[in-house]
């Protein structure tokens, strides 16, 4: 199971789908780790997988396999015996069958992938604000991702972290679920640590003809007053920008003095409102709140959260140690990512806790790092674990690395790699194949082979698509394909062939149609120019072969920008 930077759960790091339960994304902000792990969604996935059915979450791996490459799904399946502590395929099948027989409810996870937050010291070109605080604070790069939009539906189904008064039992009107209003005033209390709200949408049904106004208060502010029509009604309230969260919503119904209902009460303004008696005549079938957050260096808060440190779930020690790591005896594999986990304060705290409680000896670690940090004390801690792989995300040699993973310095990255190697920490170099480095990765591969460094080429950029291999003209694809085929035939070690074959397979996958290709190439030109100008960099200097090939194939970089 993977917990990403914003607290949402995913099946693994290669999917961009968020599992849903009760109409909401499974997230630590409203569900416990145990509730997520044995949610209806994950139980269903376990049954589907055992039955041999394909699931949407694994589509990226299915695509890689169909192209002829080796997927993360296949890699992890080879480790199932170790993770589950069973012997052979029969043992794996028996354990999976036993879990499904129990309704899909599984014992505590044996592997966890924790993305500790977007705290980072780099702003890599193919990255996003979700994974880098530096990109989130970058006035140019952040604009390529727009504002963060979050939404929560408060009615008609109650949410556990919200308090409600003045509403009746959940009922059904046709195909819609609704909540009857039982009093003249409905109060909805929200957690005080949520994000500011920009939009409120309310709709429902009025089945009486008496004229009635709906007034809406947000905290102490009156934000709307609207006459409700007979039958279906709806209100959309756009709020003035504010950084303050709304702690409560108050909906008041005000009836005019015609066809008076059974009894009337005076509200705080002296108006008369319906006490409803036994015949409520207004239902609410939807109450949705939306937050549109401007990008900033920190992560955006969730609208609703049970976590006091919202949105930084990984800063809450109680959550980390008493929920996520509540069963360290079951853990065999722990993976870390970020941001940059080596600069996150919770990372060494987790290692220390596992060492102090004598669980490090049966847990393997996999740590993704950008290579900018070396710490001798960290090496000593890592040696306490069953095994370690320190995976360095490096995109090329020299200026190419510095161009893609700004503002890293190649000399420092290489020095840190050799320092961990000298400490006898198992490590690997893992570039991400993309348009920028398609002609430069092989130089990095040669450097790794010369220095007895393990490398892995199973990571391909899928998003943003305008930086993927799909953006390249067919002539460049063909040229890169020849380079990789020649390396595979004459220079590649036998153990590393499958790595290269994965990239070669990606170069052979079906191409976008001409219209999409034109859009992707236009985006690539504008993005490259925007970032180059903002950082004082140059594609022509950092990637001369790529630049010259693109220009020769009709790319015009002259004065084309998106945010300048």
Looking at residue 270, its pLDDT comes to: 37
Q: How confident is the model at residue 305 (pLDDT cuts 50, 70, 90)?
A: very high
> What's the rounded mean pLDDT across residues 252-276?
48
| Structural contact between residues 93 and 81, judged by C-beta atoms closer than 8 angstroms | no
The residues, any chain, with a CB within 8 Å of residue 330's CB and separated by 6 or more, are: 107, 108, 109, 110
pLDDT in tens, 422-456: 999 999 999 999 999 999 999 999 999 999 999 98
User: Cα(131)–Cα(300) distance, rounded to whole angstroms?
Assistant: 12
Q: How confident is the model at residue 262 (pLDDT cuts 50, 70, 90)?
A: very low
What percent of the chain stands above pLDDT 70? 94
pLDDT in tens, 393-414: 999 999 999 999 999 999 999 9
Looking at residue 78, its pLDDT comes to: 79
Looking at residue 258, its pLDDT comes to: 47
Looking at residue 518, its pLDDT comes to: 97
Q: 246-274: buried (b, 16+ CB within 10 Å) or exposed (e) per residue?
A: beebbbbbbbeeeeebeeeeeeeeebbbb
The residues, any chain, with a CB within 8 Å of residue 8's CB and separated by 6 or more, are: 18, 25, 26, 27, 28
Tell me the chain's radius of gyration from C-alpha atoms: 28
> What's the rounded mean pLDDT across residues 286-314?
84
**Cβ atoms within 10 Å, residue 380:** 11
Looking at residue 377, its pLDDT comes to: 95
What is residue 324's DSSP assignment?
I
Q: How confident is the model at residue 348 (pLDDT cuts 50, 70, 90)?
A: very high
> What's the rounded mean pLDDT across residues 303-315?
91
Q: Parallel, antiparallel, or unpaired for β 333-337 and 387-392? A: unpaired
pLDDT of 34 above 70: yes
Looking at residue 275, its pLDDT comes to: 44
User: Cα(64)–Cα(495) distance, rounded to whole angstroms?
Assistant: 20
Looking at residue 257, its pLDDT comes to: 47
The residues, any chain, with a CB within 8 Å of residue 151's CB and separated by 6 or more, are: 288, 289, 290, 291, 303
pLDDT of 244 above 60: yes
pLDDT in tens, 199-221: 999 999 998 888 888 899 988 88
Looking at residue 261, its pLDDT comes to: 43
Mean pLDDT (the chain) is 89
> What's the rounded mean pLDDT across residues 169-174?
90
pLDDT of 73 above 90: no
What pTM, to 2 d.p., does this model score?
0.87
pLDDT in tens, 57-71: 888 888 888 877 778
The residues, any chain, with a CB within 8 Å of residue 356's CB and separated by 6 or more, are: none
User: Cα(522)–Cα(428) distance, rounded to whole angstroms?
Assistant: 35
Looking at residue 260, its pLDDT comes to: 45
User: Cα(63)–Cα(44) distance, rounded to whole angstroms?
Assistant: 22
> What's the rounded mean pLDDT across residues 31-38?
93
Handedness of CA 486, 491, 495, 500 (dihedral sign): negative
Which residue do the tokens 């609207």 mark? Answer: 226
């Amino acid at each position: 199971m993977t917990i990403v930077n914003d607290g949402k759960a995913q099946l693994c790091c290669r999917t961009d789908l968020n599992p849903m339960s009760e109409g909401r994304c499974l997230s630590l902000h409203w569900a416990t780790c145990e509730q997520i792990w044995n949610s209806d969604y994950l139980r269903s996935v376990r049954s589907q997988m055992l039955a041999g059915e394909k699931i949407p979450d694994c589509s990226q791996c299915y695509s890689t396999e169909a192209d002829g490459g080796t997927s993360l799904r296949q890699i992890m399946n080879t480790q199932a015996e170790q993770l589950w502590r069973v012997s052979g395929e029969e043992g794996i099948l028996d354990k999976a069958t036993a879990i499904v027989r129990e309704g899909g409810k599984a014992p505590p996870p044996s592997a966890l992938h924790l993305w500790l937050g977007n705290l980072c010291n780099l702003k890599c070109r193919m990255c996003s604000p979700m994974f880098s605080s530096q990109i989130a604070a970058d006035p140019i790069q952040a604009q390529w991702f727009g504002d963060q939009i979050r939404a929560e539906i408060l009615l008609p189904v109650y949410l556990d972290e919200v308090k409600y008064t003045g509403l009746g039992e959940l009922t059904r009107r046709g195909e819609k679920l609704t909540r009857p209003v039982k009093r003249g005033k409905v109060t909805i209390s929200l957690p005080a640590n949520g994000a500011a709200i920009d939009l409120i949408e309310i709709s429902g049904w009025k089945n009486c003809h008496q004229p009635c106004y709906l007034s809406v208060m947000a905290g102490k502010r009156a934000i709307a007053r609207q006459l409700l029509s007979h039958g279906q009604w709806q209100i959309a309230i756009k709020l003035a920008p504010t950084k303050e969260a709304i702690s409560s919503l108050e909906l008041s119904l005000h009836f005019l003095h015609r066809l008076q209902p059974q009894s009337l009460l005076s509200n705080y303004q002296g108006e008369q409102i319906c006490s409803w008696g036994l015949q409520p005549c207004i239902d609410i079938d939807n109450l949705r709140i939306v937050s549109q957050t401007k990008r900033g260096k920190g992560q955006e808060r969730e609208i609703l959260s049970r976590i006091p440190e919202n949105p930084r779930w990984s800063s809450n020690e109680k959550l980390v140690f008493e929920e996520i790591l509540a069963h360290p005896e079951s853990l065999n594999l722990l993976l870390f990512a970020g941001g940059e986990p080596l600069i996150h304060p919770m990372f060494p705290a987790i290692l220390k806790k596992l060492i102090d409680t004598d669980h490090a000896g049966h847990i393997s670690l996999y740590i993704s790092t950008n290579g900018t940090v070396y710490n001798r004390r960290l090496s000593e801690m890592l040696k306490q674990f069953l095994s370690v792989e320190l995976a360095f995300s490096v995109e090329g040699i020299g200026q190419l690395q510095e161009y893609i993973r700004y503002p890293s310095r190649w000399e420092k990255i290489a020095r840190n790699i050799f320092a961990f190697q000298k400490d006898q920490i198992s490590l690997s170099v893992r570039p991400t194949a993309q348009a920028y480095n398609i002609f430069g990765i092989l130089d990095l591969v040669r450097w790794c082979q010369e220095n007895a460094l393990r490398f892995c080429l199973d990571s391909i950029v899928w998003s943003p698509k305008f930086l993927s291999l799909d953006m390249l003209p067919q002539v460049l694809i063909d040229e890169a394909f020849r380079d990789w085929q020649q390396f595979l035939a004459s220079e590649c070690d036998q153990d590393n062939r499958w790595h290269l074959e994965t990239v070669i397979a990606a170069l052979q996958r079906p191409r976008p149609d001409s219209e999409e290709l034109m859009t992707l190439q236009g985006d690539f030109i504008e993005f490259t120019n925007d970032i180059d100008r903002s950082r004082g960099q140059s594609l022509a200097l950092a990637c001369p072969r790529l630049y010259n090939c693109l220009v020769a194939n009709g790319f015009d970089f002259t004065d084309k920008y998106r945010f300048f």
